[in-house]
Amino acid sequence: MEKIRIGTRGSKLALWQADHVAALLKQGGIESEIITIDTKGDKILDVSISKIGSKGVFTEEIEEQLQLGNIDIAVHSAKDMQSELPQGFELIAFTEREVVNDVLVGMDMCLSLDKEDIVVGTSSTRRVALLKHFYPHVKTVSVRGNLQTRIAKMKDGVCDALLLAYAGVHRMDYDDMIISKLPLDKFIPPVGQGSVAVECYTSLHEEKRQAIRKYVNHENTEKRLRCERGFLKTLQGGCSIPVFGLADLQEDTLTIKGGIVDLEGTKIIRKRIMGSAENAESIGRELAEEVLKAGGDKILEDIKEKLNQKQTHESK
Ligand SMILES: NCc1[nH]cc(CCC(=O)O)c1CC(=O)O
C-alpha cells in the first residue's frame, strides 16, 4: 500500500496528534507522511473565535486538501470537530481517549478555585459559564492562542491560572504545572475531549480506510464519541455554546450525561440517560431532546441571540 498522507494544522498540539496517528499506523506496519496546512484560525490570533464565527475556521483549508486528494486523512482534536461535517466528509477513527477532565494549570501549586481573588484565564464560554455557576467569586480573563502562548501570558501576569483540557496539557508536556483536576460532577467536559479524530473524504481508497480503522480506531472511545456527537448534533451547539456531554461505556451499556448552562452561569440543565451501545448516536440525540425539553431550548435561544447581538454590535 502507498504511504498514507496525513494533513494537519501546524501548531505543536496538532503536530503531536498527527505524530500520534502516524505512530499507530507504524505499529501496523504502515508508512505515512505528515503534511502541514495553514488555516484561517491559525492566522487570525487577535480576535476571539466566537467573533470570527466558529464554523470551520480551523478545518476549511484542510477539507479542501482532502477533497483535492492531496492528503488522505486529516487529524484533529475530536472536540474541535463540528457535529455536522460538510457533504462527503466523515470521521472514520477516534484514538483511545485519555483523561477527559479540565485541569487548573499554574505556577503556584497551592492555588485553588476556592481562593477569593483568583483570576483564571480561559476563552471558552463553557468554562466561563461553569465557573460563574460553581465558583461565582472567580474572575476570568480571556486568554487565546495555543497552549504555549497562553502559558506565556499567564507568566506575564495576565492571570493566576489557566483552565485547560488535561489532554492538551499532557500532550504538550506541562504535567508539572497541573495544580488540580476539576471534578467531573461539576465540570462535565465538552463533547469529544481527550480523543483525536481522523477525518476523510468519500474518495479515500478502501484499503487505506480499512487500515486506519484497524490501527487507529479505539472501539470503546468511538462508541462514546458517536454518542456524544449525536447529543451535540441535536443541540446544534457550535464551539461558542456552553454545552457539555460525556459518555461512558461499560460492557455494552452506554451512559451519557450532559447539558447546557447559560452564559451568566445562573441556569444549568443536566440530564443523564443509559442505553445499549448499539444505538450510540440515538442515545445521544435522546439526551439532547431531554435537555431541550427541560428548558435547554430557551437557554440555547437566549445564547444565540446574545452572541448575534455581540457580533452585529462589534462589526459596526
Ligand atoms: N480548544 C482548543 C483545544 N482543542 C483541543 C485541546 C486539547 C486536546 C483535547 O481536548 O482533546 C484544546 C485545548 C484546551 O481546550 O485546553
Task: Write down the pLDDT at residue 58.
Answer: 73
Does 254 map to a domain?
yes
pLDDT in tens, 13-37: 999 999 999 999 999 999 999 999 9
CA of 167 to the centre of ligand 1 (A): 7
Atom of ligand 1 nearest to the CA of 165: 16
Pairing of strands 161-165, 119-121: parallel
26 with 142, same domain: the answer is: no
Helix (H) or strand (E) holding 166: helix 166-171
pLDDT in tens, 231-270: 999 997 666 789 999 999 999 999 999 999 999 999 999 9
Cα gap 121→111, rounded to integer Å: 14
Nine cell digits for residue 119: 483570576
Task: Write down the pLDDT at residue 54.
Answer: 54
57 with 205, same domain: the answer is: yes
Nine cell digits for residue 122: 480561559
Task: Write down the pLDDT at residue 179.
Answer: 98
Task: Write down the pLDDT at residue 210.
Answer: 98
Does 189 map to a domain?
no
117 with 35, same domain: the answer is: no
Task: Pick the closest to residue 274 from 219, 227, 218 (CA basis).
Answer: 227
DSSP structure string for 90-153: EEEEEPPP----EEEEES-TT--TTSTT-EEE---HHHHHHHHHH-TT-EEE---S-HHHHHHH
80 is catalytic: yes
Does 3 map to a domain?
yes
At residue 150, does pLDDT exceed 80? yes
Does 62 map to a domain?
yes
Task: Write down the pLDDT at residue 316.
Answer: 43
Cα gap 237→306, rounded to integer Å: 14
Burial, 128: exposed, middle or buried (Cβ in 10 Å; 0-12, 13-18, 19+)? buried
164 with 76, same domain: the answer is: no
Nine cell digits for residue 42: 491559525
140 with 206, same domain: the answer is: no
236 with 302, same domain: the answer is: yes
CATH code of 89's domain: 3.40.190.10
Count of structural domains, the chain: 3
At residue 91, does pLDDT exceed 70? yes
Report which DSSP code applies to 86.
P
At residue 44, does pLDDT exceed 70? no
Task: Pick the closest to residue 36 from 11, 63, 55, 59 (CA basis).
Answer: 11
19 with 42, same domain: the answer is: yes
1 with 77, same domain: the answer is: yes
Does 190 map to a domain?
no
Does 172 map to a domain?
yes
Domain boundary among 181, 205, 231: 181
Q: Is 168 touching ligand 1 by the criterion CB < 6 Å? A: yes
Mean of all residue pLDDT scores within the chain: 93
Cα gap 9→12, rounded to integer Å: 9
Q: What percent of the chain has pLDDT over 90?
A: 84
Does 59 map to a domain?
yes
Task: Write down the pLDDT at residue 227.
Answer: 98
88 with 111, same domain: the answer is: no
Q: Is 9 touching ligand 1 by the criterion CB < 6 Å? A: no
142 with 81, same domain: the answer is: no
pLDDT in tens, 116-131: 999 999 989 999 999 9
Does 30 map to a domain?
yes
pTM of structure: 0.93
145 with 258, same domain: the answer is: no
Catalytic residue among 46, 72, 80, 297: 80
At residue 159, does pLDDT exceed 80? yes
Least confident of 29-38, 211-220, 238-247, 270-279: 238-247
The CA–CA distances, whole Å, from 151 to 24, 115, 145, 193, 248 equal 29, 20, 10, 20, 31
244 with 155, same domain: the answer is: no
Domain of 85, in residue numbers: 1-95+196-217
Let me know how many helices (H) and strands (E) the chain has, helices first: 11, 13
CATH code of 269's domain: 3.30.160.40
> Interface pTM (ipTM) of the complex?
0.91
